[in-house]
Amino acid sequence: MPRENRKRGKKHRKSAVEEQAEQSVEDAQYDAPDTEDQAGPSWIVSAPRLEETNPEAPFGYVDADVKAYFRTVDLQLREWQDQKGLAETEEDADIDPNEERRMFFVAALTEMRGKEKQLATDPDCSNILERMSHSMDDFVRRVFVDSMMGSYEQLVRHRFASHVCQTLFTVAASTISRETRGIFPVMPGSEDQGELRTLSDLILEICEELRPSFTSLIMDPFASHVLRALLLLLSPSSLPQPQALRQNNLRSKKSASWKNKHIGTLKSVFDEDKQEAYSVPESFGTMAVRFVEVLEFQLDANEVRALAADKVASPVLQMLLEIESAHDMADQPDSLMDRIIAGLISSCRDKPNAKIEPSDYVNTLLRDPTSSHLLETVVSRVPQPVFSPLWQIYIRPKLGRLANHPIANFVVARAIERTDEEQLMECCVDLEGDGALGRIVKSTRLGVLKAMVDRSKNLRARGKEVTEAICTAFDLQLSEDRRLIVPCALYMLPLKSGIPNTIADGQEESKPKIVKKGGHKKSVTDASRQAAAQEPKIQGALLLQSMLQLPSPHHEVVLDSLRSLPTDDLIDLAHHPISSRILDAVLDSSEISPTVKRKFIMTFIGSFHTLVDHRIGSRVADKCWAVADPFLKEKIARSLITHEQFLAASYYGKFFARRLRLPLLQRMPEEWKALQAGEPQGVAATASVQHPSNLKPREPTKTAPNHKGKRKRDVKPEDDIDALFQKSLGQGVKRSALPEADGWPSKKAAPKTEDGNLHDVLKTIHLAPKDDKRKKRRTK
């Protein structure tokens, strides 16, 4: 700085008036002037002071002490959920076993009050809220849902709170069902609080909150699964799948795997969750239709088609198509389904006889991994007058190639389920004409063949053509070769490829061979690949099970193949977890006569001890026993008398032996027959029938004095054999004699004296009546 510009001396101090004027100007820069008389220029408007919001915790963070408390709540709920039941763990308790849990749960709910939104957006506490929501009663659920009203659009977009909302909509179905039937909880009255709305009204208000932004939520990765749960709650009857399967499909495979690993089983800690048919009010169906209309009005045809290929939006669009079809809205022009299939519904309605050109977009949907699921819904839900043009334009011209495609074959199988008798015949002719049947087996995709069998069963027509097509697919032209249809279909190999003779051969070949060369062990990869190809396949077993459901005589092909197998091979089939289902289908099929089933069970007589000595085979034996008539049961039981020790030593056979009651069969066969025939125990089959008026009332038996405490001798016998041994050994109980049966005279149990004198007991036995054979021996 130049010397001439420098100034020396004390700094000038401002007066109080000048300081006040500067302060007013600074305030005007931040605060908006309320009146024109306020100090500062009138054109200065202060900017609003926006608080910085964290997208991970939009409602604030949870206090550390509160989070630690809810972790203890989660541990306690996990412990109670892992228990088998209240009756087993707390049956000797003096108080209600639910009382302690209820008090603990009320304390947790009190601590949660006012912090619902913070807990729902917390990564740790959100899982705890999901677990607690299953144990909430109807009143607490209404309070919990009402506490988050007005923020659901922000919650369903959140990474962790979206799962809390999804669980809430899932458990709300039971509460809404009870409200529909007029069952409401008792609410504590309070003048300070207002009226609490029903959960049905709260759900409808949540829908109104989400409806304006529905088109953006449908493509949100976190809000998409919440919308699926909400649509399932609004219209449960529109979706054809069972309730349990529909709930599982709301989560992706990755999300379901993470849930099972980190959260575990979610159920109520007070009682078992009961699966019941849910009912919803009529207003829910109207709200579901409004969501469909929102998508129709706010999106054009190209935007709707773009949603079909989106991994996030496609599942929601699939549910909307089902709702649209259930409410008879799909056959209208410019509907969602009409837009997806490129205006085919409008063309069939306006110009029924005009030639329609196929759309490249629909052909793309057939082969896309994501949109093919949507096209399956379209094929199964499209109106019947439109299905025939859809079949003729998009599926039948390329049936052979589509049936062998890794993705399009599922759409073809779903389309075959809606074909009529003529279209099913066309399907058999087209697949057999261009050699596509052989390629179906080589590609190991038998879904199309199984769909043909199922459709033939439902139509009860074209069974011969379908059976011939399946035999052609496995290269079984001759009648002698058709006896190998079970191993061919089970291993999914044509006859020329060479199939293993038995299941045991396939299992032995499945073990990789070890070859020593140069002192090192090497596994033969070719043998491993061949073994993997010769393992029984699930699709082949499903195809054989469907063929056994065909009406006679079309299922005889599979039965003749099973009859041609030796008993050892049938036992190998019964011991395999996949092939054993074929034997179950033989016993469960309503098209197979009881005579054929009886002959099938007779093939195992003499080998039942080998059959039941296995984890899977024992279940097949149980099914054989359940299907058999009393005479066949007696043959099975008498064939196992010589193997009684083998069954007792078997880990799985001992349970089957208990069902047979072999000791009772050997000692009292008529009693055993009456038991198997369903007659009351203790009544012989050969006893004379008496009129009820001639029957005398049974005298009460003298029982031993009751001792407190649970001891083994105080437990009542649950089996006839236990009762027989107790009568013969005696427990201070005097009972009536057993009825005579099959030449075995009954003996009275020797009464035991109170002092337990052994001399009196032996004297009583010595004076007991003896049979004639023993008297003759003494005379000699």
d(CA 228, CA 425) in angstroms, rounded, equals 39
* pLDDT for 779 beyond 70: no
On the question of pLDDT at 608 being above 90, the answer is yes
Could you report how far apart the first and last alpha carbons of the chain are, in Å?
Answer: 153
Rounded to the nearest angstrom, the gap between the alpha carbon of residue 734 and the centroid of all alpha carbons in its chain is: 52
Q: What pLDDT shows up at residue 525?
A: 40
Other C-beta atoms lying within 10 Å of the C-beta of residue 336: 25
Q: In whole angstroms, give the CA distance from residue 644 to residue 654.
A: 9
Any idea where the domains of the chain sit in the sequence? 19-49, 64-88+96-185+196-273, 661-684+712-746, 750-780
**Which string of DSSP letters, residue by residue, matches 26-49?**
HHHHHS--SSTTSSS-TT--PPP-
What is the tens place of the pLDDT at every residue in 13-52? 555 545 555 555 455 444 444 444 444 455 565 554 444 5
Interatomic CA distance for residues 145 and 123, integer angstroms: 19
Q: How do residues 239-290 score in pLDDT, each as one tens digit?
A: 655 444 444 456 666 776 766 676 767 778 776 555 566 788 999 999 999 9
pLDDT of residue 495: 83
Which one-letter amino acid corresponds to residue 307?
L
Phi, psi at residue 663, to the nearest 5°?
Answer: -60, -40
Q: What is the three-class DSSP state of 729?
A: helix
Cβ-defined contacts of 745-750 (< 8 Å, 24+): 745/771
Residue 591 vs residues 329, 393, 550, 556, 626: alpha-carbon distances, Å: 39, 36, 7, 11, 18
Q: For the purposes of burial, counting CB atoms within 10 Å of the CB of 741, is it exposed (0-12), middle (13-18) or buried (19 or more)?
A: buried
Beta-carbon neighbour count of residue 570 at 10 Å? 22
78-99 residues labelled b (16+ CB within 10 A) or e (exposed): eebbeeeebeeebeeeeeebee
Average pLDDT estimate for 185-211: 82
Mean pLDDT of 315-332: 92
Phi then psi for 61, rounded to 5 degrees? -90, 155
Confidence of residue 100 (pLDDT cuts 50, 70, 90): confident
- In single-letter form, the type of residue at position 762 comes to L
**d(C-alpha 576, C-alpha 570), whole Å:** 10
pTM: 0.73
Residue 686: pLDDT over 90: no
Report whether pLDDT(641) > 60. Answer: yes
H/E stretch holding 522: strand 520-523
pLDDT at 469 over 90: yes
Average pLDDT over residues 360-382: 92
- Region 633-642 average pLDDT: 93
Residues contacting 8, CB < 8 A, separation 6+:
none
Average pLDDT of the segment spanning 425-430: 91
Which residues touch 416 (CB under 8 Å, ≥6 apart)? 424, 427, 448, 451, 452, 455
> What mean pLDDT value characterizes the chain?
77
CA triplet 748, 752, 756: central angle to 5 degrees?
160
Per-residue pLDDT at 546: 95
Quick one: pLDDT at residue 634?
93
Is the pLDDT reported for residue 545 higher than 60? yes
